[in-house]
């Protein structure tokens, strides 16, 4: 390990995380869409001058653990670092250039001191719409990425401080909510500079050399912590599988097979045996897959060290080319999140074989992303995007919490009052779903029911759901959680919709009802504490 | 002979009850300290008043005003020692309180922290009704469902009930109808309504704030009743005011109704005092820091005024009422230094607290703390610490530091100790930097004011870290909060949420809203017996760009009369946005979210305080202290022997009652006319 002064290491490390926090505060306070400002679907991080992640603001693991892969892909195959100049901002949303799906725009800014590149700041924002076949970006009918929206290869949107107005105008021309996109994007660019300013100040204070040594040491320390944690796990080969309902086109569940090999201070994760690449948009690129794996390994190892790319070094990830978890161009990927969640739960399930006292049963298994393309009577258009979550799995020592973000996602809900003030929706219900948590000695957390009435003249509903069939697994004899459901109620008529829905026409007065999955139970239900059973009945968590 | 008029402020802390009073005739202030009586704090309060009266020679009838800052609400929340409550809400939304915003803070944790709702599901009851986003009634309130809910409240174990309806802040009619019915049927149940407690958009935060308010009512009411009874029985007829989280004072009745507004009553005394000292010494921009055993509170005073926000949290619970804007981090004298599994040095947030306390207290602590390190480096005196109440174990502290930090890191003892302090200083400075960053402010435009028990040892180093050149140490930090409370004015915070784009033609709507608030504010002050020249009505607007989630508070002289004034208001918002977030967007529509009014009844403020008479000078002793990487000898001054106008050059140690100040080389310290101490970086240093 490098010999950097341990005191300086701590001081500079705090300052780097502060820089990421300042960027995060800037996005939070200045962005426009409810997706960013209420759901908090964005992340910020700091990289060293060579594009290695040294600091993160705690937000979304799915973003944070894939940013470096994207940056490395850009500098290896698209824009070598010597072409990054002071004042540039590089942006991409291309899954085949290291991204994950088109709504996520990654923006990077190099930080220079005395002509030397000493850091790169990054802000990832999930934008509310990117054009393509479905408002909100989740086109369930897409069979190739071209149907999913505007695809931006790594390009300089700002060159030496000058905004490329023609390029920006081109982007805005191709999205459904140009004003919202513009506001969120300006906030993204402003936050990059906020981080850059903090890092330049740091370099002025401690010197460029010190900053670079500290960056390297931070990675070494986190790597060391990860190796120590892995060494403490029992060596062996552990296999598990989990499932995705399907791609919305072809029949049958899709399988995610994982083999985890723990050997001394390193770990290898292989996905041989997973389903082939799907026709529909549930495919994951390696950026998604690795990001899910990194999340699961960091969580399962229980390390206390700072999460950065040093943690990834002892982890090897392999997956068959052309499979669901390593899709090739031009496979559609907009719903990659639902496969990503099941990659994480499959890896955690394999860990449960190795360290059963530490791993909970499966959480809800998928983020319920949904969007409505709204047309008002006066012709005005709006895009409403939202995401819901469900219950956690029971843990060996505790019930799973109900209705709480889990896994490699971490989002807030959007306040109903905020939605109603902006969109023509009237909520009827937002509540826990009794009996949806898997039974067990430790019960799974409850899923949620969210119901709203559509009030505008015309709307098209898009949903990127899953876990209707592939219910969140139980462990050690616990029952699986209840699966999800989506229905539209028009008068007395109830229409059950598919988990992947595109363009379902809504009329004024229709009620959209979604039920999210509960978590799996842990342990034999017969062994549950009678007092806990009574309390569950009194509170109506269990009927 | 006219009777004397004595104005008293009392701050009841965990250990001491502090009193400060102003003799209105002479303009002089004096302070007095006595032990807190935890079983009945009103006893300690009266002890303090009696003690001060006999010591300074006034009679109870001379007391014209009694002001009080209390931690009763805060302690009740921290210990979750809350009564059982019920919640009545819109049917279908009974779980909003428990679902919360459903994000988590520790993203890699697989076993979640237990999340107990303030009111369990079995006591959350829905009523059939629905109000829309602009206050329109979508579904009439169903009387049968209200009675049904009230039956369930009656049958439950609840002693309080919160009423929070969806969009209830846009039209209070249904909440009021439910409240009236509840009061009629169950007069013994204390009630809180969301439109009164926290009329702000976002249902979870408003509901949670309202529930917390209801749960605090019995505890706070009992406390205030006991206090009033005690005061009356002792023959004290002066009116009592309580200090709220926003730094303003309020009547006992209002405080009993809105106890959630007392959550920062204690700390806001310190902020008020900092505001007063800053004004007295002529500093417009000050960061006030209070470092105790476990925490570090940061508050910003800008242009002479404390900043107040409505988006705060207390112990993880959202509290959407006006509070002094305070950032708290877990760093104090008791913060523990340790190594994590990757071998990295960590200081805090774990704390040794009061028990076992630092290793040097000899009460069973085994891990080195910031206080231990200060002792090892000669910054604290093992003999005079805390007034010499007990001897400190220097050898024990050294052994713990060597074993747990110095040896594993391969550092010598002094380097390990000074390294721990450097990490602490960086953390404290980081908290200040983020507090200012959130407002787009630069630390170099501010002076630091340090007033906690543990802060004086680090304040100058924190200032150095931030490029600040002035550090203020108030003359009497041990009764600082009481000093602040004495300067409090009556403040009623009123708000109306109405989303209104500030486009040409919007000024009449804005003016109507303002007129409504002004009428209400004047009426409230009149009810307090305050009118005319003693009243001030400050309007302000929460503005944002259309679509943003957060607003910036823009002060408003009067409501804009025409489009030109409206445009000027928008311009002020653009400027503020650029300053705070480094960009603005003049082509975008600015919209009003909430119009606010602070109705202030001035209680007369504070006369200038006079300098204390220095005590007899004591012989100067020198102490070996580790500073700037090496040991040096520094003179030790007793603060109470320093006369106004004295200048001391660093390195120097100043001992105050209960605290120690450290002035490194390159800084000098001046004793101001008021007796406060001002440390400045020397030019070229």
Q: What is the 3-state secondary structure (H, E, C) of B85-154?
A: EEEEEECCCCCHHHHCCCCCCCCCCCCCCCCCCCCCHHHEEEECCEECCCCCEEECCCHHHHHHHHHHHH
> Which residues fall within 8 angstroms of residue B370, CB to CB, at 6 or more apart?
B331, B332, B333, B334, B335, B337, B347, B358, B420, B421, B424, B454
- pLDDT at residue A1 tops 70: no
User: What CA–CA distance (Å, rounded) separates A498 from A502?
Assistant: 9
What residue of A is the nearest CA neighbor of B424?
A11
User: What CA–CA distance (Å, rounded) separates A170 from A167?
Assistant: 5
Percent of chain A with pLDDT over 90: 84
CA distance A228 to chain B (A): 8
- Specify the pLDDT at position B586: 84
Q: Which two tokens stand for residue A379?
A: 């012709």
- pLDDT at residue A12 tops 60: yes
- Specify the pLDDT at position B615: 64
Average pLDDT over residues A431-438: 98
| β-pair partners for A370 | A386, A463
- Specify the pLDDT at position B21: 92
User: What CA–CA distance (Å, rounded) separates A494 from A510?
Assistant: 10
A31:B549 CB<8 A: yes
- Specify the pLDDT at position B162: 98
A501 three-state secondary structure = strand
Q: Which two tokens stand for residue B422?
A: 């450097």
DSSP B12: E
Give me Rg for the CA atoms of chain B. Answer: 27
Residue A364 in contact with partner chain B when CB distance is under 8 A: no
B422:A7 CB<8 A: yes
What residue of B is the nearest CA neighbor of A187?
B583
**Which residue, among A2, A8, A11, would best test binding to B if mutated, counting the most B CBs under 10 Å from its CB?**
A11
Per-position DSSP letters for B248-293, written without gaps between them: -EE-HHHHHH-GGGGTTHHHHHHHHHHHHHHHHHT-S-EEEEEE-S
Q: What band does A508 get if pLDDT is binned at 50, 70 and 90?
A: very high
Divide the 685 residues of chain B into consecutive groups of 10 and give the mean pLDDT of each group: 80 84 86 85 92 92 91 86 96 97 87 85 98 92 98 97 95 96 97 92 95 96 94 91 92 92 90 91 94 86 84 85 86 90 85 84 92 94 69 93 95 95 94 84 92 88 94 87 88 83 90 92 84 85 79 82 89 83 79 88 63 64 88 91 91 87 94 93 78
Residue B651: count other Cβ atoms within 10 Å of its Cβ. Answer: 19
Residue A313 in contact with partner chain B when CB distance is under 8 A: no
**Which residue, among B86, B99, B429, would best test binding to A if mutated, counting the most A CBs under 10 Å from its CB?**
B99
Sign, CA dihedral B642-B645-B648-B654, equals positive
User: What CA–CA distance (Å, rounded) separates A301 from A293?
Assistant: 12
User: What CA–CA distance (Å, rounded) separates B245 from B184?
Assistant: 32
**Residue B356, preceding bond cis, omega within 30 degrees?**
yes
**Residue A330, preceding bond cis, omega within 30 degrees?**
yes
pLDDT in tens, A279-338: 999 999 999 999 999 999 999 998 876 778 899 999 999 999 999 999 999 999 999 999
CA distance B546 to chain A (A): 8
Per-position DSSP letters for B13-26, written without gaps between them: -SSEEEEEEEETTT
Q: What band does A373 get if pLDDT is binned at 50, 70 and 90?
A: very high
pLDDT in tens, A446-491: 999 999 999 999 999 999 999 999 999 999 999 999 999 999 999 9
Per the CB < 8 A criterion, the answer to whether B356 and B363 are in contact is yes
Contacts of A426 in chain B (CB under 8 A): 130, 132, 138
B110:A358 CB<8 A: yes
CB pairs under 8 A between A and B: 215
| β-pair partners for A430 | A450
Contacts of A225 in chain B (CB under 8 A): 340-342
Contacts of A44 in chain B (CB under 8 A): none
- Specify the pLDDT at position B385: 67
Low-confidence winner among A94-98, A151-155, B75-79, B107-111 (lowest mean pLDDT):
B75-79
- The side-by-side arrangement of strands in the sheet containing A511-515 is A425-432, A448-454, A511-515, A485-490, A493-496
Q: How confident is the prediction for chain A on average, in pLDDT? A: 94
A365 three-state secondary structure = coil
- Specify the pLDDT at position B581: 66
- Specify the pLDDT at position A190: 93
| β-pair partners for A461 | A372, A504
CA distance B477 to chain A (A): 29
Compute CA distances B425 → B333, B428, B450, B607, whole Å: 12, 5, 13, 36
Place of tokens 């209105």: B24
B92:A420 CB<8 A: no
A428:B92 CB<8 A: yes
- Percent of chain A as helix, strand, coil, to the nearest 5: 30, 25, 40
- Specify the pLDDT at position B370: 95
Contacts of B109 in chain A (CB under 8 A): 299
Compute CA distances A88 → A44, B45, B413, whole Å: 17, 64, 47
Alpha carbon B191 to its chain's center:
26
Residue A299 in contact with partner chain B when CB distance is under 8 A: yes
- Specify the pLDDT at position B414: 95
- Specify the pLDDT at position B580: 67
Where is pLDDT greater, at A3 or B526?
B526
Where is pLDDT greater, at B499 or A9?
A9
Contacts of A428 in chain B (CB under 8 A): 92
Place of tokens 């603005």: B584
- pLDDT at residue A39 tops 80: no
- Give me the interface pTM, i.e. the ipTM: 0.92
CA distance B405 to chain A (A): 11
Say which of A186, A221, A416 has its CB closest to residue B342.
Answer: A221
> Which residues fall within 8 angstroms of residue A320, CB to CB, at 6 or more apart?
A271, A272, A274, A326
């Amino acid at each position: 390990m490098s010999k950097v002064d341990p005191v300086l290491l701590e001081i500079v490390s705090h300052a780097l995380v502060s820089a990421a926090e300042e960027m995060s505060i800037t996005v939070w306070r200045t962005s426009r869409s409810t997706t960013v400002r209420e759901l908090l679907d964005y992340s910020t991080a700091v990289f060293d001058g060579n594009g290695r992640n040294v600091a993160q603001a705690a937000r979304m693991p799915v973003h944070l653990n894939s940013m470096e892969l994207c940056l490395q892909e850009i500098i290896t195959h698209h824009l070598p670092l010597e072409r990054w100049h002071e004042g540039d901002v590089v942006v991409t949303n291309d899954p085949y250039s290291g991204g994950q799906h088109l709504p996520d725009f990654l923006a990077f800014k190099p930080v220079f001191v005395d002509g030397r590149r000493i850091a790169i700041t990054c802000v990832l924002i999930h934008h509310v719409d990117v054009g393509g076949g479905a408002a909100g970006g989740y086109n369930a009918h897409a069979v190739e990425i071209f149907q999913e929206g505007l695809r931006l290869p790594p390009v300089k949107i700002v060159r030496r401080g000058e905004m490329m107005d023609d390029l920006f105008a081109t982007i805005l021309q191709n999205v459904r909510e140009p004003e919202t996109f513009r506001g969120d994007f300006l906030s993204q660019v402003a936050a990059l500079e906020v981080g850059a300013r903090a890092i330049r100040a740091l370099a002025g204070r401690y010197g460029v050399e010190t900053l670079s040594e500290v960056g390297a040491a931070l990675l070494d320390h986190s790597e060391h912590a990860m190796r120590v944690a892995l060494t403490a796990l029992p060596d062996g080969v552990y296999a598990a599988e989990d499932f995705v309902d399907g791609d919305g086109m072809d029949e049958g569940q899709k399988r995610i097979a994982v083999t985890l090999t723990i050997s001394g201070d390193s770990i290898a994760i292989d996905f041989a045996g997973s389903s082939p690449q799907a026709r529909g948009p549930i495919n994951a690129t390696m950026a998604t897959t690795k990001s899910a794996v990194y999340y699961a390994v960091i969580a399962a190892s229980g390390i206390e060290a700072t999460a950065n790319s040093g943690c990834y070094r002892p982890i090897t990830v392999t997956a068959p080319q052309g499979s669901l978890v390593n899709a090739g161009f031009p496979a559609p990927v907009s719903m990659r999140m639902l496969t990503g969640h099941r990659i994480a739960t499959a890896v955690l399930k394999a860990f449960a074989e190795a360290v059963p006292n530490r791993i909970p049963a499966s959480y809800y298994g998928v983020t319920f992303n949904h969007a409505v393309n709204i047309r008002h009577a006066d012709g005005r258009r709006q895009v409403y995007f939202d995401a819901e979550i469900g219950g956690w799995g029971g843990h060996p020592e505790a019930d799973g919490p109900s209705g709480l973000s889990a896994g490699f996602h971490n989002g807030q809900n959007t306040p109903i009052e905020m939605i109603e003030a902006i969109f023509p929706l009237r909520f009827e219900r937002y509540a826990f779903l009794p009996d949806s948590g898997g039974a067990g000695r430790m019960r799974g957390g409850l899923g949620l029911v969210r119901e709203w009435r559509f009030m505008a003249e015309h709307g098209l509903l898009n949903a990127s759901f899953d876990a209707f069939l592939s219910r969140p697994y139980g462990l050690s004899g616990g029952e699986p959680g209840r699966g999800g459901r989506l229905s539209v109620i028009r008068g007395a008529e109830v229409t059950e919709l598919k988990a992947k829905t595109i363009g379902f026409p809504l009329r004024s007065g229709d009620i959209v009802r979604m039920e999210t999955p509960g978590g799996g139970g842990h342990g034999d239900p017969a062994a549950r504490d009678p007092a806990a059973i009574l309390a569950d009945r009194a509170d109506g968590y269990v009927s | 002979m006219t009777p004397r008029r004595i104005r008293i402020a009392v701050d009841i802390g965990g250990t001491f009850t502090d009193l400060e009073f102003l003799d209105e005739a002479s303009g002089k202030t004096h302070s007095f300290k006595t032990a807190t009586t935890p079983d009945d704090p009103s006893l300690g309060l009266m002890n303090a008043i009696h003690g001060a009266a006999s010591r300074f020679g006034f009679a109870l009838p001379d007391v014209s005003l009694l002001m009080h800052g209390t931690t009763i609400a805060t302690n009740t929340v921290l210990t979750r020692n809350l009564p059982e409550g019920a919640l009545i809400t819109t049917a279908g939304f009974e779980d909003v309180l428990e679902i919360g915003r459903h994000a988590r803070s520790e993203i890699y944790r697989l076993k979640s922290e237990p999340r107990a709702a303030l009111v369990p599901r079995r006591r959350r009851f829905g009523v059939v009704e629905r109000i829309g986003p602009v206050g329109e009634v979508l579904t009439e309130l169903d009387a049968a469902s209200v009675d049904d809910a009230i039956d369930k409240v009656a049958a439950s174990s609840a002693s309080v009930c919160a009423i929070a309806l969806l969009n209830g802040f846009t039209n209070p009619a249904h909440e009021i109808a439910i409240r009236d019915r509840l009061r009629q049927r169950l007069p013994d149940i204390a009630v809180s309504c969301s439109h009164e407690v926290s009329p702000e958009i976002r249902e979870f935060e408003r509901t949670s704030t309202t529930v917390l308010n209801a749960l605090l009512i019995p505890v706070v009411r009992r406390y205030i009743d006991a206090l009033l009874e005690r005061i009356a029985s002792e023959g004290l007829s002066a009116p009592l005011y309580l200090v709220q989280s926003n730094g303003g004072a309020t009547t006992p009745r209002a405080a009993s109704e809105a106890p959630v507004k007392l959550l920062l009553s204690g700390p806001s005394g310190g902020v008020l005092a900092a505001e007063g000292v800053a004004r007295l010494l002529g500093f417009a921009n000050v960061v006030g820091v209070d470092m105790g055993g476990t925490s570090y509170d940061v508050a910003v005073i800008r242009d002479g005024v404390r900043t107040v926000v409505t988006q705060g949290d207390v112990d993880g619970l959202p509290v959407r009422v006006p509070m002094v804007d305070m950032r708290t981090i877990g760093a104090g004298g008791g913060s523990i230094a340790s190594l994590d599994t990757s071998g990295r040095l960590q200081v805090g947030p774990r704390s040794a607290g009061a028990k076992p306390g630092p290793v040097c207290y000899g009460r069973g602590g085994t891990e080195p703390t910031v206080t231990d390190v200060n002792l090892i480096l000669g910054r604290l005196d093992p003999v005079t610490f805390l007034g010499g109440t007990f001897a400190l174990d220097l050898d024990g502290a050294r052994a713990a530091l060597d074993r747990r930090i110095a040896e594993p890191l391969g550092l010598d003892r002094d380097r390990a100790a000074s390294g721990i302090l450097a990490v602490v200083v960086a953390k404290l400075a980081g908290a200040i930097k983020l507090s200012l960053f959130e407002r787009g402010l630069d630390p170099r435009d501010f002076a630091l004011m340090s007033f906690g028990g543990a802060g004086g040892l680090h304040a100058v180093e924190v200032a150095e870290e931030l490029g600040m050149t002035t550090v203020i140490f108030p003359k009497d930090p041990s009764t600082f909060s009481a000093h602040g409370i004495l300067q409090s004015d009556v403040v009623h915070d009123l708000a109306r949420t109405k989303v209104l784009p500030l486009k040409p033609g919007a000024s009449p709507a804005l003016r109507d809203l303002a007129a409504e608030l002004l009428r209400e504010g004047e009426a409230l002050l009149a009810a307090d017996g305050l009118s005319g020249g003693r009243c001030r009505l400050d309007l302000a607007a929460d503005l944002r760009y259309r679509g943003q989630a957060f607003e910036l508070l823009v002060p408003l002289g009067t409501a804009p009369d025409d489009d030109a004034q409206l445009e000027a208001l928008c311009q002020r918002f653009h400027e503020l946005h650029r300053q705070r977030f480094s960009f603005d967007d003049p082509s975008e529509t600015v919209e009003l979210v909430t119009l606010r009014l602070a109705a202030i009844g001035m209680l007369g403020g504070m006369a200038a305080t006079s300098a204390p008479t220095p005590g007899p000078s004591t012989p100067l002793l020198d102490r070996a202290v580790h500073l700037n990487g090496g040991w040096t000898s520094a003179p030790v001054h007793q603060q109470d022997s320093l006369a106004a106008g004295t200048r001391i050059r660093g390195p120097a140690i100043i001992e105050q009652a209960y605290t120690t100040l450290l002035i490194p080389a390159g800084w000098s310290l001046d004793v101001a006319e008021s007796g406060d101490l001002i440390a400045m970086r020397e030019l070229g240093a």
